[in-house]
Chain A
């Protein structure tokens, strides 16, 4: 666990499984690599980076993405290609989501926890710009963007010029939270094949 995201994904995946959604989580771990099925029915695939030496977060991230793709693709083929959508959190695995979409027609929701513009305010070094550009590709390629507040929706519209109707606010504190998530997923599922 690095931030609050791990707890959120844990709670979300358990709720999804309870609502009869076949849920797979692909995530990073250096020590617990491999596939495991939790008591909740959620299947988790943990991958590590085959490249051990790095010069920054970007090179680490962009190589790890190939392992994320490998894990996601193996889930896809084992599930008889019946994956309706991908929900990707923040910029780290946007490269994998974008490739899986373009290669296999799996649409994705980009769920935003935070933006590089807020994490590193008023900085535009090549390093920050690279992360912002990955975020931008995510917004461009996503079917829908999911955020946890109206403020974040407005910030995404302001900073990345994303059309407002593409951004959906899903409040984790709301009683209807999991219903809202499922509602959002339904608007996206199979979206690319329908076109």
Chain B
């Protein structure tokens, strides 16, 4: 047997294509696995200007034709894209000198590609469930939502192990798909603290002045402007905060709720206090995170909560809603402030408390940074992932597929 473990990962997003949290997750996970002696082949959707094949720190990245004809709707596009992904991945895996040992799929967006190739090559399939449709939508209301849910259930059924990024997600996924306990594995998501360290010495005053007056505190929100992220809860908390402290609210991200949120802000006559930035480049985001006096993650549903971790790594104190993965990342009054979910008063109280008390801010900041370094380090996560691969291959070697 060859000595190097070989994994093919499927993901619908990989840098420079960034839509949500899966892209940075697979980026850092694959690089850290490569550093730990795992050969990783990432198969992902194409992106304008990005090469069809490249090697990034030992990781083989293949960008497939993601089906660019108009599709009837998003869900149908996903399955059409998977047709291409599966076809191209089949050819790639077939031509490799060292055969793939494990397929690893991230979310339902690559479900059919992963399931089909598992059977065609007869190799084990692992799945990381980053989120679920039933959680995102708070129930299953339409046929599209039911179809996606059933696809997720099928993917979980076909998987040898299902990896979740938090204890909350383990129990949620177990409930949602009726999975046996021993099929689930918790490996946390990671954060790359190094990018925040490298900019430690820079002067942020000039940058900060572009967004806020000197006497304004900065409150930062980073995330899609969608219901599950609870951005409307934060917007409703804005006037409550402003009663006590002068602050500027910076909203990074985009989504279908944008117009609705703008209308609320206008009706409150607070356009000068709430700044909608849309998407920003990585460097601007990093600087904003470093400048923020408070970062807020007001999600109603949050499988993990990477934004909170990034803020903690950037030494920005966090106020999060006490739900899902956020509940595990933040220890109340130690590494952040936990507010009641969907409660603008509670959220405003936490934000105000942090903004008004510099000692408290510094205390939270220091604790949070230490926790990130100890628990959410990619090196550690890669080792945990590698040991799951090995455990699965051990079981597989005794199966009739081997």
Contact = CB atoms under 8 A, between A and B. Distances in A.
Contacts of B79: 58-59, 62-63
B53 to A, nearest CB: 16
A76 to B, nearest CB: 8
Interface string A116-130: 000000000111011
A69 B119 contact: yes
A130 B69 CA distance: 7
Contact of B75 (A52, A55, A98): A55
A42 B76 CA distance: 35
A102 interface: yes
Interface string B103-142: 0000000001001110111100000000000000000000
- Please indicate which of the listed interface residues A70, A74, A77, A130 has the most CB atoms of chain B within 10 Å of its own CB: A130
B154 A103 contact: no
Interface in B37-88: 67, 69-73, 75-76, 79-80, 82-83, 86-88
B209 interface: no
A56 interface: yes
Tell me whether chain B's interface is mostly helix, strand or loop, or mixed: helix
Contact of B76 (A52, A102, A130): A130
B120 A125 contact: no
Contacts of A59: 75-76, 79, 147
Report the interface size class on chain A.
35 or more
A31 B86 CA distance: 28
18 contacts: A50-B150, A51-B147, A51-B154, A59-B147, A62-B83, A63-B151, A73-B120, A95-B86, A95-B87, A98-B87, A99-B117, A99-B120, A104-B94, A126-B71, A126-B72, A129-B70, A130-B72, A137-B87
B245 interface: no
Contacts of A105: 94
* List of 6 A-B pairs having minimum Cβ-Cβ separation, nearest first: A103-B90, A62-B79, A102-B90, A53-B146, A70-B119, A102-B91
A146 interface: no
A134 B84 CA distance: 10
B174 to A, nearest CB: 19
A65 interface: yes
A99 B90 contact: yes
Contacts of B73: 55
Interface of B: 67, 69-73, 75-76, 79-80, 82-83, 86-88, 90-91, 93-94, 112, 115-117, 119-122, 143-144, 146-147, 150-151, 154, 157
A21 to B, nearest CB: 23
A53 B116 contact: no
Contacts of A137: 83, 87
B80 A58 contact: yes
A134 B76 CA distance: 13
Contacts of A129: 69-70
A56 B76 contact: yes
B112 A65 contact: yes
A70 to B, nearest CB: 4
A54 interface: yes
A99 B120 CA distance: 8
A145 B80 CA distance: 23
A55 B76 contact: yes
A126 B116 CA distance: 25
Nearest to B112: A66
Contacts of A40: none
Contacts of B67: 133
A94 to B, nearest CB: 9
B94 A133 contact: no
B115 A66 contact: yes
Nearest to A76: B120
A50 B90 CA distance: 22
Contact of B80 (A51, A70, A130): A130
Contacts of A66: 112, 115-116, 119
B107 to A, nearest CB: 15
A102 B116 CA distance: 12
B207 to A, nearest CB: 44
Contacts of B146: 53
Given A56-B72, A100-B120, 5 more contacts: A59-B76, A63-B79, A103-B121, A126-B71, A133-B80
